[in-house]
Amino acid sequence: MTAPSGSSTFLDVLTPRERGKLKLYIGSFAGVGKTYRMLNEAHELRRRGVDVVIGFVETHGRAETAAQVGDLEVVPRRRIEYRGVVLEEMDLEAVLARRPELALVDELAHTNVPGVAHRKRWEDVMQLLDEGINVISAVNVQHLESLNDVVARTLGVTVRETIPDWVLGAADQVVNIDVSAEDLRQRLSEGKIYSADRVPSALANFFTAEHLTTLRELALREVASSVDRVREAIVRREEGAPPPTAKTVDRILVALASNPPHTAVLLRKASRIAGRLNSDWYCVYVQTPEEGAERIETDVQRRLVDNIQLAQSMGAEVVKLVGSDIAAELTRFARTRGVTLLIIGQSRRSRWHRLRHGSVVERLTHNGESLDVLVVALPAKGDIRREPP
C-alpha cells in the first residue's frame, strides 16, 4: 500500500518559493530500496525541468544505489572533526545557498555531529522546507518515536535514532517501499545490503522472516494512516470545507509523574492512540507541595524536563498543574477540557504504601466521571534489549 504516488503527483505541488513540500519514502527495513527510488525519481524530475540536487545520500556501499547517483548534482558534504575522527554531514548552509527547487536528503532520523546547526537531520529538513526548498527524504518505520517500545518489545532491540511522529504526519506525500521478507533475505544473501562477512549474523539475528514481517506490517499500517489523512484533506479542500477540528470526545490525557522510570512508554502509547484517532492529547504534570522548585531534587528535575521535551516533540500539549491532590487535579482538568480517556502507568508502590496513603491509580479508575482510564503495564525491572545490527 502506498500513498498517492508517481512523479507527477509530487511535481504538481512543488512550490519552491513558498514553504517547501515534503515527500517521504518509508520502508520496513534497510535494503528495501528507499534511496534507490529517491534517486530514480530525482532523475525523472530533472528530465522534466526541475532543479534537483543531492543534499545528502547514503549508499551504504551498495553498488546499485551508487550507480543510480549518476550525473545528479551533489552538494559537497561538510567535513567535521569530532573526537579525533573526521566525519561528514550534509552542508545545510551550502544547500540553502544553492537554493534548488528540490533537495534529496537521506537518513531522516540521523543524529548530526556536534557543531552543526541542528542536532537531528529532520530538523535540517524542516529548515529547508521553511526556506521554500522541497525535499524528498527516507526513513525506516522503526525510527518513528512512538513505535520505539513496540519495536523493543516485539523484536528485542532498542532504536536510538528516532523522529517525532508529527514529522511523518506533516509530509505532503508518503510512499511505502514494500518488499517481502523472502525477497529481502534473498537480497541480503546476494550481498546487496551488507558485506559478505555480515550476512550470516544478520540472517540469523535481525533479518529473520518473523522480524521482517512484523516491520512490514508496521510500515503498511503507518502509510495507511497517512493515506487516510491525505485523502480526507483532499476531499475537504475540493469541497471547500474548513479544516477539521479535533473531536472533544476523543481528547486524551497522559498523567506524568515527576520521577517515572518508564515515562516514554506512556507518552508513546498516548501518541499512538492520538494518532489513530486524529485527536488532541495532553501531557499533564501535577506539582505537589513536596515537589516545589525549592524541594525537588536536581536529578529528578532534569528527568522531568527531559520527559516534558519528549512529550512536546511527539505533539502533546504539556500542562503543569499545582495541587496536593493529584487525582482530583487530573479529573478536574479532564472535565474542563473534554477529555474522556486518561492514560496512566501502573503503580509501583507497595501494597502497604497504598493502604496507608491511598492510590492515585485506584482513585482515578473510580473517578465517578465519564472518564475512561487506561492503566499501562510497565516493563519489568531488568529488561535487557539489544542494539540493532
pLDDT tens string, the chain, 389 residues long: the values are: 444 444 445 655 554 458 999 999 998 877 888 999 999 999 999 999 999 999 999 988 888 888 999 999 999 999 999 888 999 999 999 999 999 999 999 999 999 999 899 999 999 999 999 999 999 999 988 888 888 877 777 777 788 898 988 888 889 998 888 877 788 788 778 877 777 788 788 777 777 888 878 777 877 777 766 555 555 555 555 666 555 444 444 689 999 886 666 788 888 888 888 877 777 889 999 988 877 767 777 787 888 888 888 888 888 889 999 998 989 999 999 988 888 899 988 766 556 555 555 678 888 888 777 789 998 887 665 443 443 43
The x, y and z cell numbers of residue 367, run together, are: 473517578
d(CA 191, CA 335): 58
Q: Residue 86: which residues within 8 A CB-CB, separation 6 or more?
A: 79, 80
CB environment 209-247: b (16+ within 10 A), e (fewer) = eebbebbbebbbebbebbbebbeeeeeeeeeeeeeeeee
225/227 Cα distance (integer angstroms): 5
Which domains are seen in the chain, by residue range?
7-239 (3.40.50.300), 248-376 (3.40.50.620)
- pLDDT the model gives residue 351: 62
Question: SS3 string of 84-103?
Answer: CEEEEECCHHHHHHHCCCEE
Extract the C-alpha cell encoding 385. Answer: 534489549
The pLDDT assigned to 385 comes to: 43
CB contact at 8 A, 111 and 120: yes
Find, among 159, 212, 166, 158, the residue nearest to 185 by Cα: 212
Rounded CA separation 176/186 (Å): 20
Among the listed residues 347, 338, 331, the one whose alpha carbon sits nearest the alpha carbon of residue 284: 331
